[in-house]
Every structure is written in C-alpha cells, then in structure tokens.
Amino acid sequence: MQANLCQRIILKANNIDKQALPSHIAIIMDGNGRWANQKGFQRVFGHKNAIKAVRDSTEACAELGVAHLTLYTFSTENWNRPTVEVKALMQLLMQTIKSETKTLLDNNIKFNTIGEIEKLPTDCLHLIEKTKKLTENNSRMTLTLALSYSGKQEILTATKQIAKDVLNNKITLNELNEETYVKYLDTCGTPNPELMIRTGGEHRISNFLLWQLAYTELYFTDVLWPDFRRTHLYTAIENFQQRERRFGKTSEQVSA
C-alpha cells in the first residue's frame, strides 16, 4: 500500500512542467482549529499536527525547484486570540524551528521572516535571528515565515518611511514609483508570488501580501491544513500551469 502511494506521488509530480514552475508560492495555512475540533480536541492539537504539512510542502517545493516559499504563520490579528493559544503557538514555533533547523541545513534552504517580529517573545526572536544566521548562505530555496504580519501595516510602514526619506531629502517625489516603493516593503529582493494557495475552504486573502498579490494566481482548496500534503501542492501547481497569465493584455497579445 505504501509502495502504491509513493508511486502515485511520483506520477503526480511527473505531471508538472518543471520549466513552468511558479518561482514563488505563498500559502495561507488555514483550518488547524477546525481540524482539531472535528476530532474532539482543542485548537492547539491542530496546530501541532500542522507541522507535517509544513515539512511536506517545504520539501516538495525544494525538490521541484521552487525558489521561494512563504507561509502565513501568524498574523497581527492572531494576537487577539486567547492568551493560552497564543502562548502555545509561540512555544510550538520555537520547538519547530529548533527541530527543523538541521533539515534546513541538510537541504540547503535559507530561513527568512517578514512582519513585525520585534513583537515576538524575546527568546523566540533570538532563536529566529540565530537560525537566519545559520542558514544565510543556503541557496536552494528560501523559506519565509510571515510572523506578526499584516499586509496593511506593511504598506503603512513603507509609506511612513518614504515620507521621512522625502522630508530628509533622501528621495524626491519624482523618484517615487512602483520600483522605488517595493524597496521599502518587507519582501524587498523577493519576487512577488506567482501562486497563492489557501487551505480550509475560505475564499479570501486575509490581509496577506496585499501589494505583492496584485497579479498572483489564487488557488483555494477545502483541504484543512493539517491534512495538506505534497499531492495537494502538486494539484495546485498543475492548476496554475493550466492558466493563462495575461497581466492586463489580451490572449492574442500573450500568444504573440
């Protein structure tokens, strides 16, 4: 049975055109709490079982040749959840980073974060910076965790910094364009996602990468995040590869 499963996974992966991979995939990992509730457990149980999905998706992306994977791990709105759940999530985050650092190093994966990480607990912040340092020279893929992240706040922070730089004569209003603006975003230096996947059946982007998702292909699945595996990822990529990306042009222009 296990052999048949492995064979199906390999066949599924072979259906993907490696020359037309999205260079950057972003994922909203939704459904942990509902998954746990369905099984009669507290929400934290769902978060703990979600680690398998993170590991499988990360390994699958690296093996395929995806250059960037960004996971919406903890939003600024998540701070409003019950204190017990937030504390458990922070502990789980630290445990996961510690346990997966060797995997990142063995697979040549660079670890990165976006968001207001200064709001995280001090010990968590120190661990994140340590892991970034350990993996900074890895080049196979970059794994980015969006932590204490808000798309609106990212844009607001960038706008404030631009205003300061204009006042201090570091840039002029005439120099301000899209190319300049992106240099002030958390994702500076990273290409915009070409594919965004959201699990859990909800059809919204929930304040995630609002600037960067302007022309991203969106894929929604009812699969709850703890059940998400590489076969689901492959299906999303296959769907992406069947779409025509026009960026405002006509089909005829794209074909030409």
- Measure the CA–CA gap between 238 and 255, rounded to whole angstroms: 20
Active site residues: 30, 78
How distant is the alpha carbon of residue 53 from its chain centre?
13
- Measure the CA–CA gap between 132 and 111, rounded to whole angstroms: 5
- Measure the CA–CA gap between 41 and 85, rounded to whole angstroms: 13
- Measure the CA–CA gap between 46 and 89, rounded to whole angstroms: 11
- Which contacts of 6-10 are long-range, i.e. CB under 8 A and separated by 24 or more positions? 8/231, 9/230, 9/231, 9/234
Q: In what order do the strands lie in the sheet with 24-28?
A: 109-114, 141-149, 68-75, 24-28, 195-198, 217-220
